[in-house]
Structure 1
Amino acid sequence: MVRVSIYEDQNELRSLLELLIGNAEGFEVAGAYANGLSVAEQARRDRPDVVLMDIDMPGRSGIDCVSRVKEVDVDIRVLMHTVFDDDERLFACLSSGADGYLLKKDTSTHLLSALREVVEGGGPMSPGIARRVLQTFLHTPPAQQSYGITPREQELLQLLAQGFTYRMIGIRCSISVETVRRHLKNIYHKLHVQCGTEAVAKALRERII
């Protein structure tokens, strides 16, 4: 059962999200909140697998909330859920450790699949957002160092950047999910990052892949 905490300041939308997620097979709502003022305490209490996070909330922005959730437990996945598609907010979220970025206009068709993907280790993004990330990083200068990333680790990073889940990577590379996790843990250590989205962002930005 995937436990999801919802942060959304619009009461009607928050209620709809609770219904959609709570009635979906394999999901349960761990908590639903109108702001992130107590997000760290709530994350410790609710122990969600995934946090669905709005950006524009009163009192504390969703971007700040991402960092606070990751400080509680880096393994809690955070899927941003927002109307904003501008570069400034997008990259601020990724830099803070967000694991995925879904536009609200894609909620009806992509939300449940995005939640499943992010909890399995993928980095789901709305199609237009994914294109923007790739285009932005591909126009940056080459890296001056490789961080000791091996060819096998490069392969895994490339698959992760394409949105493959741990299970899909394992099948493609003929290795177990646990081996995938071990490789990615080594990659995170070498790149000095804490999650898959940060690793992909840094690898693309510095032309490691």
Structure 2
Amino acid sequence: MITISIVEDNEQFCKGLEAIIGNEPDFSLIASYPDAEKALTALPVHPPDIVIADISLPGMRGTELIVRLTQQMPQTQFMVCSIHDDNDTIYEALKCGASGYILKDPVTAADITKAIRDLYNGGSPMSPFIARKIIQSFQKPVVRSNDSLLSQREKEVLELLSQGLLYKEIAEKMGVTRETVKKHLKNIYQKLHVQNKIEALNKFKLL
């Protein structure tokens, strides 16, 4: 039996959660609280397996409640059910100790029951939109370095230029014509978005 308590000030939504929990034979509703202050006093007396809490509560915020209760009820898991989908609120809730985050809109009875069971079984249930936001926060655009932009021959040209060699000397060392060296330089300028060899060398960090 999974024991559950609710902290939710929206009476209609709270009754909806109560009905969903009441319809599941393996769920048991311990109590519902309209604010964090009442929950903070009552919940530690009979800690449930799971607390479903809103963020925007009258008085103390849901995140502050979670912080305080996790210290008193280390075995209880917390799931936020909120309308807030901004990054700051999501990260605040997770940092404060929530193991799941479900958006109220849209949410179905099936979403709620699945989230409760997932959380109880060690998962971290999240609405798809929330999960995507969290994944994106860890992803950074792949920026190609100047080194990876250039071919091996182009890098060789820059190396020789940095040694102060003239085009003719570079051509001799590379076994190519002077025109080929100039063609390599033209490609380098385009790739590095520069106008001359000094800018190219500076950007390539060879000076």
Tell me whether the two structures share a fold, i.e. TM-score over 0.5: yes
CA RMSD of aligned residues (A): 1.4
TM superposition outliers: structure 1 runs of 4+ over 2 Å: 38-41
Give how far 1:108 is off: 2.8
Report the AA paired with residue 29 of structure 2.
V
SS at 2:115 equivalent? helix
CA contact (8 A) 1:55 1:62 kept: yes
SS at 1:79 equivalent? strand
Equivalence for 2:115? 114
Equivalence for 1:6? 6
Equivalence for 2:99? 99
State the TM-score, normalizing by the size of structure 1. Answer: 0.64
Equivalence for 2:34? 34
Gaps of at least 5 residues in structure 2 are: 142-207
Q: How does 1:26-105 map to 2 (within 5 A)?
A: 26-104=26-104, 105=106
Q: Which of the pair has the greater relative contact order for Cα pairs under 8 Å at 6+ separation?
A: 1
Equivalence for 2:199? none
Taking the aligned partners of 2:118 and 2:26, their CA distance within structure 1 comes to 13
State the TM-score, normalizing by the size of structure 2. Answer: 0.65
Taking the aligned partners of 2:140 and 2:74, their CA distance within structure 1 comes to 30
Report the AA paired with residue 49 of structure 2.
D
Gaps of at least 5 residues in structure 1 are: 141-209
Give how far 1:39 is off: 2.7
Taking the aligned partners of 1:131 and 1:97, their CA distance within structure 2 comes to 20
Report the AA paired with residue 132 of structure 1.
K
Distance 1:139 1:42, change over 3 A: farther
Residue 126 of structure 2 corresponds to residue 129 of structure 1: no
CA contact (8 A) 1:6 1:32 kept: yes
Taking the aligned partners of 1:24 and 1:112, their CA distance within structure 2 comes to 8
Report the AA paired with residue 85 of structure 1.
D
SS at 1:37 equivalent? helix
Taking the aligned partners of 1:135 and 1:103, their CA distance within structure 2 comes to 18
Taking the aligned partners of 1:44 and 1:108, their CA distance within structure 2 comes to 27
In percent, how many aligned pairs have the same letter?
A: 31
CA contact (8 A) 1:50 1:78 kept: yes
